[in-house]
Amino acid sequence: MLETTSYAILPSKVNQKAEVRHAVTSVLSYEWDGRVLTGTLSKGTFCIYFINDKTLRFIVNPFGEVDAAPSIAAVGDHECMSGTLEENDHSLHLQINGNEVMIEKETFRLSVKRKGEVLFQTESPSVAYNLEKHIYFSVKKSPQSPIYGLGEKSGFINKNGSKISNWNTDVYAPHNKDTVEL
């Protein structure tokens, strides 16, 4: 039975050297089609659009092209809302139905506002990666703003106030009747 049972491989930091993170900065180029903002960064690419008045989809891939295919995790992610984009020397301003996204071009910091109130903003660096291709996203938000899911199956769906480390591991053995899901 043991040879057919799947076991999760837990990450361990024993005997590891200090991690070096590389920041993703600088918007090098961008394209706006009236609904979706895509662009090239100092390392990788990004894509930003609103699915509806309350749902922003923000995708960054430091290792290549973003996959902007509709996500089953976001209800209604088959059509994007239209808006306007303005540019100045330091930033890009995307406005859609009372929502505003401001992207600092040099640092790739992001700020999202609804009707003038800041919903969340990224810290610097907003996106980083390491040599093992782990991606880090750093955000500051109001204490009332919810954070949903994060891939966790246990606990409350709103993960606000929690400190969570996620990892994904593919198990070599197939799942069977003895495999217990969370």
The pLDDT of residue 45: 95
- In tens digits, the chain (182 residues) has pLDDT values of 445 444 455 555 566 677 788 999 899 999 999 999 999 999 999 999 988 888 888 889 999 999 888 877 777 777 788 999 999 999 999 999 889 999 999 999 999 998 888 888 888 888 899 888 888 888 787 777 777 766 656 777 787 777 666 665 655 556 666 665 55
Helix H segments across the chain? Answer: none
Has domain 21-67+77-141 been given CATH number 1.25.40.10? no
Three-state DSSP string of 87-153: ECCCEEEEEECCEEEEEECCCCCEEEEECCEEEEEEEEEEEEECCCCCEEEEEEECCCCCCECCCCC
Joined together, the tokens standing for residue 68 give 């902007």
Instruction: Sketch the domain layout of the chain as residue ranges.
Output: 21-67+77-141
pLDDT in tens, 143-165: 777 777 666 567 777 877 776 66
